[in-house]
Structure 1
Amino acid sequence: MVTRHSWSRRFGRGGRERAGRAGALTAALCVTAAALGISAPGAWAASKPRLYTMSEDAKKITGTSSSADAPKVAPGLFTDRIEPGEEKYYALDLDAKSDIHVTATGVPEPGSRVTYQDGLTVTLQTTDGHTCSENEADGNGNTAFPLTAYAARLMGDPDDEACRVKGPYLVHVVREEGDNSDPSSWPLELSVLKEPGLKGSIPAPRPGAEEETDDANTRPAPPSGTPEYRKGGTGFNDARAVGDGVWKDRLRAGETRYFRVPVDWGQRLYARVDLPNAANGSETGTRLLPNGFRMNVYNPARSALYSENFQTYDRDGAKFDRYSNPVRYENRFLDDDGVSGTRFAGWYYVAVTVSPDMVQPFPKGTPVTLRIGVEGHAAKGPAYNGDAKAAGFGVDDTDREMAEKGLTEAEAAHNSSLRTFGWAGVGAGAALLVVLAVWLLIARRRAAALPQPGGWPHHAPQPQQPAQPPYGGYPGANPPR
């Protein structure tokens, strides 16, 4: 065992300091690597697909099969579990001013069988059973990936007066069960966002906005250049921020990764995913994979803009892209989901999934390239009667900085804490320097006031030196015998 004293004998004080500096440097490098999403060498092959990460701030609740004793939810995040064929109720109190956005995300185990018969349905309804909004997310590709369904109460909806009143409402979540599919329970995440109302009247939809669909859009030139590594997150909560540019990642077979992009009012999001051709030596299975990969885009309320299927991969490479219409408040009342989904500014999410079959052409993980373009200049947003940015809707310079640096929400919060601690440290350091300077000044003045050696006055008697003891000993010592 190496004790403190044996360490000193072996390395000395300088060795301890060098070892301490080396340990600090190693820790700093580990923190930096974690922040950049860099894995240690050799960690890749041994790892399974990463699971969806729930928010640490999410509250655990248990929905009920009866609406009579449904647990209450409010703006925030909640977690639960749901069995095949099970339905759950949650209670929600609404005012008569705000828009409410509710999203349910069911998370099957990566690699499990999920078919088109599997699904998740979320309904926002009144307590007497009147449906305000309903949406279903279906499985496809025989591949497990997070299924996200969305419902909303919009105060400006002229066709649904029953859902614009203040009072109790219900969130109803149902897991549809497929034949011979995953029999296990799924983790369930419930997101509730409260969007402030507007000051004044709600603008009418722009003429021609319904024609600005993805199919009708002329694609911009995709961003080019050397891709930069960005490790995507496992879900909405730890999605990696990216902005304009070309980004690369490597996904394990059966894995889904999330990226997020700040898109402001009036801007459009272009997202394209590229998969390379497979090496000749990887010809270990069928050449054509009908369920190769999937990409989808979600708005700040986690609502999918499109109903996407898996795309074919044939070993010669593949690509898939989407181009949204401009983000406008008034889009929310249009019929097309891809158009109405771009109803607010904020973080838009791009989720990429590779099927388990992709292990054939890419046994060490599928390389993907993500090309992101935010088109158009930011416009002035609507006049909210409240802080929409704090509620999750809007873009500011901090968001753009996060996208430039490629941070997750947790990393951005950590960096903010470090900056606060750093400025506090600077203040404390400055105060310490002032104290040291005052102490040094006082010490110098006291030293100057003392008589200096050889400066005794001539008329003063010189101090008597004590007699030296004999034999070089100390006073009172006995002489050697």
Structure 2
Amino acid sequence: MNTGLRRAAVSMMAVAIVMGLSSVAQTSAAPVRAPELVPLMVVLDASGSMQPQGKMASAKNAVRMLAEQAPEGASMGLAVYGSGTGNTPAEKPRGCKDVKVLHKPGTSDPGALAQSVNGIEPRGYTPIGESLRTAAAQLPAGKPGAIVLVSDGEDTCAPPDPCQVAKDLAEDGTDLKVHSVGFNVDEKAERQLTCIAQATGGTFSAAPDGDDLARVLPRVTRQALRNYDTAGKPINGGSDTSSAPPAGPGLHLDQIGENESKYYAIDVPKGYTARATATAVYNDEGGTSDTEKLSARVLDRGGKRCRGRYTFTRKDLRVGSAHRTWKPTGSMGGSCSEPGKFHFKVERRKLSGGVDGPVPVELMVMLEPPVGEGGKGAERGDRVSFQQPGGPPEEAVGGGSFNTAALLNGSGQYTDTLLPGETIFYRVDLDWGQAMAHRVRLPAGPPADLTTQTFSFGPNRSMLYKSGNDPYRGEATQIEPSRTLRPVRYLNRDLMSTIGADDEQAIPGAYYIAVQLADPRGASGAPVPVNLDVSVQGKAEQGPAYVGGGIRDGRTSPAPAADDEESSSLVSGAGPLLWVGAPVLLLAIAAPLVYLWLQRRRSPAPAAPFPGPP
């Protein structure tokens, strides 16, 4: 009986341990999470001002081109305003309600969408605000969506004010981006169209003539379907240190104009390391020469420089990140060595061929606590070499931004399709002790005149390495980055990157791969299949013993109180490794307890004591 019971208990423990290990395996083999293309509505201006100089014909041609070049599976619709009435004062009441849906969003049918513009005749008013409401109503409720607005002038029907309508759409809880295209517009109309786009986190693009519209509209639409999805808590950077708003840990969203500087106040506690990064989002293809510069520097509370300037110089990459990392210590000198308020200064300089007007800028702030007596973790290691991953290829639909990057399931071969002009992002989560290498392969295809490049970014969006800008002519091409990563370890912060990163792979988290496909001529082209080979190496290991909780980046819980230092250091230093091993750890603790219980069951009961006196 006792022997059978022991055997049963041992069997149960074995099954439990296997189940625990199975859960670990399942945790590490999560399916690829792929962001989908968002449904989209194009809103086309058919007001009376579109009559002269073949404007309407150019707009129709641009819509036909975007329909032909739409990615497979895209859900696009079309609305038009101004085609149902004239533009006399007597017709204004009806004309300001004149918005028609010609094609509802659905699986892309290039022929149907292209034919829907054939009968449009420009005649009436410009009810932009009303058209935004109508277009938004065609998109699935409660889900991300996009509107691409094409107009050759400002609204002529307010109320409703179109910029306020855009703000209302942004505040109703729906993730809706409006991207506006100004077709030969004046400054007043450009300001209104820019306001509409920025109110929802979208972009404004200028198309001075018909040829530009045929090029810009398909590009903006493709980017809207898989767009750089700006994100963050709204913030308005100051014009100097005295007006700098506080920027705590997390992601903030602002905009920065041509040749403008913005200031933000960041409070750094004693012993903490601060990381701040400004990411500018450009809505054009750039050029073959330098088009923009984005700089960042750190100042003390009085405006004195604490760290040298880091400058990102842009050619055609759709994003630019300028970052600084600092820790108030004696080596920084003066008030820069004291904890407290610092100022993060961001400067944008537009060069020849740069983006006109303001561009969105995301500000990421991270605070890393000091390390306690538990140590800083393992010594830094060497860069890994690329190892070709095995297994069948997996489809991974990359995102258009850091915020929508497709999460890749570690090592593997991944496939995607890029259109000329796209920069697509993928994410690989690395724990302490893990490293990454990757390469990009483009198969042979139709003749092309494109360039391609790949990049890697760290958790704070600092660029870690990149490849050369290689031509793609339709022949099989392999893109090899100039470097790889070393294992993620705390002590890597003592190293400097040749391209300017303050520290290399010194914190765990989301590491990013970006793949860019550019057309130097700015022309549209056929989609190109892309193969992304990712090699993740190293096992998760114990990290540093942080005091006061883990890294604060706005996505994690606030740092625990001081009396929780021991337990919080264990959790923040171990990372996912601790949580993955928790079931096995609990089973290991339970096993001896079950054994002792069985021993008590097999031992004879102790003799009863002598009774006391009556």
Same fold (TM over 0.5): yes
Aligned mate of 2:540, from 378, 385, 388: 378
The match for 2:421 is: 254
Aligned mate of 1:352, from 500, 512, 515: 515
Taking a change above 3 Å as real, the CA distance of residues 376 and 169 of structure 1, as seen in their structure-2 partners, is: same
The match for 2:272 is: 98
CA apart distance, 1:200: 3.2
1:8-51: per-residue Cα shift (whole Å, max 9, x none)?
Answer: xxxxxxxxxxxxxxxxxxxxxxxx99966376365497742243
Taking a change above 3 Å as real, the CA distance of residues 169 and 114 of structure 1, as seen in their structure-2 partners, is: farther
Superposed CA RMSD in Å reads 3.3
Query: CA contact under 8 A between 2:250 and 2:364: conserved in structure 1?
Result: yes
CA apart distance, 1:312: 2.6
1:232 and 2:398 aligned: yes
1:314 and 2:473 aligned: yes
The match for 2:297 is: 123
Q: In 2, Cα distance between the equivalents of 1:202 and 1:298?
A: 27
Write the letter of the residue equivalent to 1:200.
E
Stretch moving more, 309-318 or 66-75: 309-318
Q: In 2, Cα distance between the equivalents of 1:67 and 1:389?
A: 26
Write the letter of the residue equivalent to 2:312.
A
Q: In 1, Cα distance between the equivalents of 2:314 and 2:468?
A: 9
Q: In 1, Cα distance between the equivalents of 2:340 and 2:242?
A: 15
Q: In 1, Cα distance between the equivalents of 2:579 and 2:418?
A: 26
CA apart distance, 1:178: 0.9
Taking a change above 3 Å as real, the CA distance of residues 359 and 139 of structure 1, as seen in their structure-2 partners, is: closer
1:128-172: per-residue Cα shift (whole Å, max 9, x none)?
Answer: 3222353221112xx241111111113578555753412221010
Q: In 1, Cα distance between the equivalents of 2:411 and 2:394?
A: 11
Secondary structure at 2:541's aligned position in 1?
Answer: coil
CA apart distance, 1:70: 1.4
Query: CA contact under 8 A between 2:73 and 2:108: conserved in structure 1?
Result: yes
Taking a change above 3 Å as real, the CA distance of residues 236 and 34 of structure 1, as seen in their structure-2 partners, is: closer
Taking a change above 3 Å as real, the CA distance of residues 339 and 245 of structure 1, as seen in their structure-2 partners, is: farther
Q: In 2, Cα distance between the equivalents of 1:239 and 1:347?
A: 10
Aligned mate of 1:298, from 453, 457, 482: 457
Secondary structure at 1:97's aligned position in 2?
Answer: coil
Q: In 1, Cα distance between the equivalents of 2:109 and 2:550?
A: 41
Q: In 1, Cα distance between the equivalents of 2:259 and 2:222?
A: 28
Aligned mate of 2:366, from 193, 197, 200: 193
Write the letter of the residue equivalent to 1:51.
N
Secondary structure at 1:340's aligned position in 2?
Answer: coil
Q: In 1, Cα distance between the equivalents of 2:552 and 2:355?
A: 38
Aligned mate of 1:343, from 480, 503, 506: 506
1:132 and 2:294 aligned: no
Q: In 1, Cα distance between the equivalents of 2:396 and 2:248?
A: 33
Taking a change above 3 Å as real, the CA distance of residues 165 and 135 of structure 1, as seen in their structure-2 partners, is: same
Normalised by the size of structure 2, how large is the TM-score?
Answer: 0.52
Q: In 1, Cα distance between the equivalents of 2:332 and 2:379?
A: 19
Q: In 1, Cα distance between the equivalents of 2:275 and 2:543?
A: 19
Secondary structure at 1:48's aligned position in 2?
Answer: helix
Q: In 1, Cα distance between the equivalents of 2:539 and 2:442?
A: 30
Taking a change above 3 Å as real, the CA distance of residues 159 and 81 of structure 1, as seen in their structure-2 partners, is: closer
Q: In 2, Cα distance between the equivalents of 1:368 and 1:358?
A: 21
Secondary structure at 1:199's aligned position in 2?
Answer: coil
Q: In 1, Cα distance between the equivalents of 2:370 and 2:109?
A: 47
Secondary structure at 2:492's aligned position in 1?
Answer: helix
* 1:19-418 equivalence runs, <5 A: 37=36, 40=73, 43=108, 47-49=221-223, 50-55=226-231, 58-113=232-287, 115-128=289-302, 129-132=304-307, 134-140=309-315, 143-154=316-327, 158=331, 162-200=335-373, 206=379, 212=382, 219-242=385-408, 243-279=410-446, 283=447, 286=449, 289=450, 292-306=451-465, 309-318=468-477, 319-321=479-481, 322-336=483-497, 340-357=503-520, 363-388=525-550, 391=553, 395-396=575-576
Write the letter of the residue equivalent to 2:296.
V
Q: In 1, Cα distance between the equivalents of 2:527 and 2:458?
A: 28
Q: In 1, Cα distance between the equivalents of 2:440 and 2:32?
A: 25
Query: CA contact under 8 A between 2:418 and 2:517: conserved in structure 1?
Result: yes
CA apart distance, 1:179: 1.6
The match for 1:9 is: none
Larger radius of gyration: 1
Q: In 2, Cα distance between the equivalents of 1:131 and 1:307?
A: 28
RCO comparison, higher one (Cα < 8 Å, 6+)? 1
User: Identity over aligned residues, as a percent?
Assistant: 27
The match for 1:435 is: none
Q: In 2, Cα distance between the equivalents of 1:368 and 1:202?
A: 43
Q: In 1, Cα distance between the equivalents of 2:284 and 2:374?
A: 46
Gaps of 5+ in 2: 1-30, 38-71, 75-106, 111-217, 557-571, 581-614
Q: In 2, Cα distance between the equivalents of 1:205 and 1:139?
A: 36
Write the letter of the residue equivalent to 1:37.
E
Taking a change above 3 Å as real, the CA distance of residues 151 and 307 of structure 1, as seen in their structure-2 partners, is: farther
Q: In 2, Cα distance between the equivalents of 1:225 and 1:53?
A: 32
Query: CA contact under 8 A between 1:246 and 1:371: conserved in structure 2?
Result: yes
Write the letter of the residue equivalent to 1:132.
R
Aligned residues: 349
CA apart distance, 1:302: 1.4
Query: CA contact under 8 A between 2:310 and 2:322: conserved in structure 1?
Result: yes
1:49-94: per-residue Cα shift (whole Å, max 9, x none)?
Answer: 2431122xx2212212222111221111111111121111111222
CA apart distance, 1:173: 0.3
Query: CA contact under 8 A between 1:205 and 1:333: conserved in structure 2?
Result: no
Stretch moving more, 33-42 or 321-330: 33-42
1:400-443: per-residue Cα shift (whole Å, max 9, x none)?
Answer: 9xxxxxxxxxxxxxxxxxxxxxxxxxxxxxxxxxxxxxxxxxxx
Q: In 1, Cα distance between the equivalents of 2:299 and 2:401?
A: 27
Query: CA contact under 8 A between 1:126 and 1:132: conserved in structure 2?
Result: no
Gaps of 5+ in 1: 1-31, 401-481
Stretch moving more, 316-325 or 350-359: 350-359
